[in-house]
Amino acid sequence: MSFSPRRSRPLPVPSAVSPSVSLSAAVAVLVTVAGCTSGDDGPRPPVPSPTGRAATACRALYDALPERVDGQPRVELSPGTRYAAVWGDPAIELGCGVPRPEVLTPGSEHYNPTAEAVEVNGVSWLSEERDGGYRFTTTGRTVFVRVTVPDDYAPEVNALVDLADAVRGAIPEKPL
């Protein structure tokens, strides 16, 4: 495993996400805030709605995802989707085709071109501490992939080790 925190250089980011993808992802995030589980309906992570090449890359990622992440088994989603995945309880959540994080969006009040990032096995991730865990979002790729890891799995970065091969193989790098 290779892990190297870095802060000093700006993060490479893919081109803008279409407004319809951003709106769909925002709605999905609001649904998730209400809780990851919903009674008998099973887990409900934020489910993005990528289109075009992003959707194709996300479906390839979905097919390459491991059955276990940080020792946790993959959980069946209801309803099914090929743009999100969940492992364990509490849930380690992955969403593919998510919008560009505000911290990487020039003009955003949260923009920070020197935000903390980590590189794990050849994949660069924006690292954002959240209440109860971390949110990691790929950088330098043609599609944003977001992974949310609860504090229960500290050090949270370990989950990225199990996801690196799938991300490297399915989500192309974006040239600088």
Whether 94 is covered by a domain: the verdict is: yes
Mean pLDDT, the chain, integer: 80
Distance CA 20, CA 25 (A): 8
The answer to whether residue 4 is domain-embedded is no
Rounded to 5°, angle at Cα 165 from 164 and 166 = 95
> What is the Cα–Cα distance from 84 to 146, expressed in whole angstroms?
9
The verdict on residue 7 lying in a domain is no
> 3-class secondary structure for 17-84?
CCHHHHHHHHHHHHHHHCCCECHHHCECCCCCCCCHHHHHHHHHHHHHCCCEECCEEEECCCCCCCCE
How many angstroms separate the CA atoms of 17 and 39, rounded? Answer: 33
Number of domains in the chain: 1
Overall average pLDDT of the 122-141 stretch? 96
Q: Distance (Å, rounded) from C-alpha 93 to C-alpha 167?
A: 14
Q: Which domain holds residue 77?
A: 21-29+42-170
What are the tens digits of pLDDT across the range 27-82?
333 333 333 433 344 445 558 888 899 999 999 999 999 999 999 999 988 888 99
Per-residue pLDDT, 111: 94
Give a yes or no: residue 8 inside a domain: no
Distances (CA, A) of 49 to 11, 20, 22, 46: 24, 8, 9, 10
Q: What is the pLDDT of residue 47?
A: 81
Q: Is residue 117 part of a domain?
A: yes
Residue 37 within a domain:
no
103 pLDDT band, cuts 50/70/90, is very high
Q: Give domain status of residue 10, yes or no.
A: no
Indicate whether 2 belongs to any domain: no
Q: Contact 62/35 with Cβ under 8 angstroms?
A: no
Q: How confident is the model at residue 19 (pLDDT cuts 50, 70, 90)?
A: very low
Coil, strand or helix at 134: strand
Answer positive or negative: Cα dihedral of 175, 9, 121, 131: negative
Q: Is 153 helix (H, G, I), strand (E, B) or coil?
A: helix
